[in-house]
Amino acid sequence: MSGPLQDITVVDLSRALAGPHAAMMLGDMGARVIKVETPGTGDDTRGWGPPFVGPEDEPISTYFLAANRNKESITLDLKSDDGRAVLTRLVERADVLIENFRPGVLDRLGFPVERLHELNPRLVVLAISGFGHDGPQGGRAGYDQIAQGEAGLMSVTGPDADSPQRVGVPIGDLLAGMYGAFGVVSALHERHTTGTGRVVRTSLLAAVVGSHAMHGTGYTVAGHVARAQGNHHPSISPYGLFHCADGDVQVACGAESLWVRLAEGFGIDPTTPGMATNRERIAHRDQVAATLNEAFASWRLDDLLPRLAELGIPSGEVRTIDRVYDWDQTRSQGLVIEVDHPVLGQIEIPGPPIRFDDNAFAGGRETHLAPPTLGQHDASIRAWLDSEDPA
């Protein structure tokens, strides 16, 4: 093992995406992550697809591959005596336990927080729920799209206020995992002083509300209720998607000087009534868009982007997923890694989004583990527990 968390052991009881994403982030930083799965079926995402890859009789879900690199897998029936006994031994040796059961489920399995801390006072517990562990709807089940709607994200996403739209990735799950991992690392740091662990809680609701940014203060401070405005920024103009001869281009003028450069560079008078200041341009967004679309209409994207770069205007194209992963810039950042999967062999998967300045590889470890097959490490983890038992 290598990395800043190489001395940390994580027991991952979670499934689907929020909890597994948090555990994977810790694994990327070098933690040993032991994923506990239900015998026979495993994590729910093992059955989510298409696309599937590998043998037709035992297809492998690419969804599962996305959230479970740098982990080991052990299968335990937590309703059985053996399963509970093995989990007890894992808890005694762990630094972190991650769970995203509905509130109360872990208690019914015989592992309430009090019991976990009796077994291991230094244990940091991350509990991720749908809408919070308490409050009037604390026990409510949560899935990403439900949370995106309930937490307001869909109301500010889409072409207009009448067409709410989910974000194209399960952003509530991913953000909950990120906030959860941050909370875990903070609690581990605190443990150096206190000597004891604590419970870290987040939820899909909390994660999405925590990402409201200016929309949150726009309402709490100014009473303004934001609505979806398509591909244009609600507070800055021009800042959004425009059209050229053979495609789309994104332009972001976050300062008045950038607007002046952009306008003059394409023969537009920057002091035109309705476009002289950002406040005016926001009020006349359609006028700004029509003016720029007309200015770009004769330009091909391959010529337009260099021209915008020459003017110093932040800009870019809209890439499809395949073109992102084939892009040399993506690969230069370690965002594609190669792992040796026990069934699929050498495969490429997305890599960790963090790099440290003393190495060129992605994440906090020198080598990465492929997402495990179900129960791949049953024997080795049990052997480790036996070898570590007190005499």
Nearest to 42, CA basis, from 384, 372, 381, 370: 372
Phi-psi region of 70 (alpha: psi -120 to 50; beta: other; left: phi over 0): left
Residue range 239-319 forms a domain whose CATH class is alpha beta
Contact criterion met (CB below 8 Å) for 17 and 170:
yes
Contact criterion met (CB below 8 Å) for 6 and 30:
yes
> In CATH terms, is domain 9-211+329-388 a member of 3.40.50.10540?
yes
pLDDT in tens, 297-316: 999 999 999 999 999 999 99
Distances (CA, A) of 168 to 154, 171, 282, 321, 381: 11, 8, 26, 12, 37
Distances (CA, A) of 333 to 292, 330, 360: 33, 6, 8
Strands (E), the chain: 9-12, 32-37, 52-53, 60-61, 72-75, 96-99, 124-129, 199-203, 239-244, 247-252, 315-316, 336-341, 345-350
Write phi, then psi, for 264 (nearest 5 degrees).
-65, -35
d(CA 140, CA 130) in angstroms, rounded, equals 7
Distances (CA, A) of 272 to 115, 247, 253, 264, 275: 69, 27, 17, 11, 5
Nearest to 202, CA basis, from 119, 287, 308, 129: 129
pLDDT confidence of residue 139: 83
What are the sequence ranges of the domains in the chain? 9-211+329-388, 239-319
pLDDT confidence of residue 364: 81
Rounded to two decimals, the pTM is: 0.94
In one letter, which amino acid is 38?
Answer: T
What per-residue string of b and e applies to 334-368 under the rule 16 or more CB within 10 Å gives b?
bbbbebebeebeebebebbeebeeeeebbbbbeeb
Instruction: Report residue 273 as tokens.
Output: 């009534």
DSSP conformational letter for 156: G
Q: Which of 57, 173, 269, 322 is catalytic?
A: 173
What per-residue string of b and e applies to 98-128 under the rule 16 or more CB within 10 Å gives b?
bbbbebeebeebebeeeebbebbeebbbbbb
List the end-to-end C-alpha distance of the chain, in Å, as a whole number. Answer: 26
Which residues in the chain show pLDDT less than 70?
Answer: 1, 358-362, 388-391
173 a catalytic residue: yes
pLDDT in tens, 189-202: 999 999 999 999 99
Q: At what angle do helices 81-93 and 378-388 cross, to 10 degrees?
A: 60
Instruction: Report residue 108 as tokens.
Output: 């019914």
